[in-house]
Chain A
Amino acid sequence: MSVHATKELQAYWKENLKIIIVHLAIWFFVSFFCGIMVVDQLDAYMIGGFPLGFWFANQGSMVIFVILIWTYVWMMNKLDIKYDVHEG
């Protein structure tokens, strides 16, 4: 385990927070916004046999949740290496 200056660790934490905020913004957008708040307006558009808003509420937001966790995992693993705090 390498030794770090406080500043570097703070920078690591700040980058982590930024990544979290971006991911949670998308999380909120697809579920609470697209799947609930504007769901009726989006239903005017179709993708395949799905009204778009219905698709977000019934399928899309869940698929995007999965993608979000994995992009977070990927970005954080890169960040761990960048700041040399990765374990083992």
Chain B
Amino acid sequence: MSILTWTWIITGLSFTLYIYIAYAARAKSTGDFYAAEQSVPAYMNGMATGADWMSAASFISMAGLISFMGRDGSFYLMGWTGGYVLLAMLFGPYLRKYGKFTIPQFMADRYYSQSIRLLSLLCAIFVSFTYVAGQMRGVGVVFSRFMGVSINMGVIIGMALVFFYATLGGMKGITYTQVAQYCVLIVAYMVPAIFISMNFTGNPIPQLGMGSTITASGAALLNDPGTQGKYMLDVLNGIQKDIGFGAYTNGARPRIDVWFITMSLMIGTAGLPHILIRFFTVPKMRDARSSAGYALICIAILYTTAPSIAVFARTNFVKSINNVKYVDAPSWFKNWEKTKLVAFKDKNGDGIMTIAKGKWDDPKSKNEVKIDQDIMVLANPEIAKLPNWVVGLVGAGGLAAALSTAAGLLLVISAAVSHDLMKGMLKPDMSEKEELVWARVGAGVAVCIAGLFGIYPPGFVAQVVAFAFGLAAASFFPCILMGIFNKKANKEGALAGMFVGIVFVAVYISYFKFINPAVNNKDGWWFGISPEGIGTVGAALNFATMWIVGKFTPEPPQEIQDLVGSLRYPGKLVAPPSGGH
């Protein structure tokens, strides 16, 4: 059977499964809709969190991105996993003890202020929409590349599916579909990686394969018998030098910038509402801790494989394309040329493909080959000569990654509208039934707006992803942390801190991305910190402002301090009994 047939069959089966699960897990109450009735087992919550977290970009683009960046790409790897250590120890268990449904509500209760609720819900909506725009586009792109339908048609199919299970099932439906989506995406990611690692090094574990020596069959694949018995990374470093790049295992970015970006991504992860609300869905505090552990296992399986794919794919790509006559190019190169992910422009007219520094369409550069970062994952199964069904699986995996992330984000938006804006601020006396209607309407409207972003992608999407992490890092992270670990953190401090953090990050990023992009380089940045890493500074400013303002303003009321105390222990106990034990 052809690749196209396989893709339709596997995707069709997976979609049927998602719809069935969503129908079986439809929500009957607001507790169901916002928090899956707090009955999700920890390991399932871990899998759902993994699917929630790993987006179209993680699945399709990350390995390729890293393959171009070498060691510098490690800030994505550490930054997008290290946040879970913070979640497990600093946030998850205590938010579960608090037990309500949204982050703006936690902020409003902890800081006894409706203004902070409004600020938080605006932040949550902004961050989630920034993120979801890319996901719906991702669905369309996968559809168009693997199944030959137009991008817009793909977006509409994806919208219809998410609309169905998000409005029907809320958090409950989303959670159980995400569990299924995690299984699909991780199988789709690992199968090609395992085969490729076997082909090159004989080691079936890609994480170890990347540090192993090349076998005879690997050397044959690379068309270079001399590489047999050499370490994979040494060979890649040699190749990089041959084509005029720095060694793959060395970094080019200033270390201070890598440091700040890593920190910003970590604390941004821990401040993202769609991840935080997952901790409301488990039965107990101890489940919140272990579900962070399960989540990071699920995520780390993919995140430790991505750098191996990057190494294998880069080595293979350069070896089989560079200095090869175009007429002798491998068949996968010709196949993927149709998608414009790879291209060749014979600048010097010698018929030989040359890979070098610079852009392929820049006449001043010697580089003649366009390599889109997505090719590294998408073309992998073909490069490794795997059967057609594996290629079909990769399409279904990419869709699972994009859809699961989109659904989680849409729920945050819907809950911010129905629970915080309507029930919490505008219409506090409405019934649960009415709130559930609002939640469904909110989810439905959010899906449609996200779909519009997918069909008419705003040009600034890529620019504002830095915004999402920077904002989450500079607004939610410090306020939630202090809200749990410092009983004396008060309303005035939190409001001032959030305000300073948000304004600082927004101004810094806007300046370098929109107002004066000409100086967006390491000489223009303050202290060499890029807009991607500025969330760390924003968070520090938020902490400092909270502390200083808190010194000069009244302490929080006693019942708030008691509330904070009660978050720190499992069980119902709040006030100590008089007369000891």
Contact = CB atoms under 8 A, between A and B. Distances in A.
A61 B74 CA distance: 10
A62 B576 contact: no
A24 B85 contact: yes
Interface stretch (B188-196, B281-289, B434-442, B471-479): B281-289
Given A13-B568, A72-B289, A62 B78 contact: yes
Given A3-B581, A37-B259, A62 B77 contact: yes
B293 A70 contact: yes
A57 B571 contact: no
A58 B74 contact: yes
Contact of A37 (B84, B212, B255, B300): B255
B71 A9 contact: no
A51 B249 contact: yes
Interface stretch (B229-237, B354-362, B401-409): B229-237
A4 B296 CA distance: 34
Contacts of B424: none
A39 B255 CA distance: 9
Contacts of A87: 284-286, 570-571
B82 A58 contact: no
B212 A48 contact: yes
A57 B289 contact: no
A80 B570 contact: yes
B148 interface: no
Contact of B213 (A6, A24, A49): A49
Interface string A53-73: 011011101110110111011
B71 A69 contact: no
B521 interface: no
A54 B286 contact: no
Contacts, number: 143
A65 B81 contact: yes
B286 A77 contact: yes
Contacts of A35: 74, 78, 262
A14 B324 CA distance: 65
Interface in B378-395: none
A59 B307 contact: yes
B209 to A, nearest CB: 9
Contacts of A66: 293, 296-297, 300
Nearest to B231: A49
B277 interface: no
A65 B82 contact: yes
Contacts of A59: 207, 304, 307
A12 B208 CA distance: 41
Interface in B554-580: 565, 568-573, 576-577, 580
Contacts of B262: 31-32, 35-36
Contact of A72 (B89, B212, B577): B89
B296 A69 contact: yes
Interface string A73-88: 1001100100001111
Nearest to B234: A49
A70 B211 CA distance: 26
B246 interface: no
Contacts of A45: none
B35 to A, nearest CB: 17
A77 B297 CA distance: 19
Contacts of A62: 77-78, 81, 300, 303-304
Given A20-B89, A55-B211, A58-B71, A3 B573 contact: yes
A4 B207 contact: no
Contacts of A70: 293
Contacts of B208: 48
B87 to A, nearest CB: 9
Contacts of B85: 23-24, 27, 65, 68-69
A49 B312 CA distance: 14
A32 B569 contact: no
A47 B572 CA distance: 50
Given A37-B255, A62-B304, A69-B292, A80 B286 contact: yes
Contacts of B234: 49
Given A62-B304, A73-B88, A1 B573 contact: yes
Nearest to B285: A87
A9 B566 CA distance: 10
Interface string B71-98: 1001001100110111011100100000
A85 B378 CA distance: 50
Contacts of B77: 57-58, 61-62
A69 B296 CA distance: 8
A50 B573 CA distance: 51
A74 to B, nearest CB: 9
Contact of B84 (A50, A51, A55, A65): A65
A8 to B, nearest CB: 8
A7 B89 CA distance: 22
B477 to A, nearest CB: 14
B389 to A, nearest CB: 30
B494 interface: no
A1 B286 contact: no
B124 to A, nearest CB: 25
Given A5-B580, A43-B249, 6 more contacts: A12-B569, A20-B89, A35-B78, A58-B74, A65-B82, A72-B89
16 contacts: A5-B576, A13-B569, A27-B85, A43-B249, A49-B211, A49-B233, A49-B234, A50-B210, A50-B233, A51-B249, A54-B233, A58-B307, A69-B292, A77-B286, A85-B570, A88-B284
The 4 A-B residue pairs with the shortest CB-CB distance, nearest first, are A49-B231, A57-B74, A49-B211, A6-B576
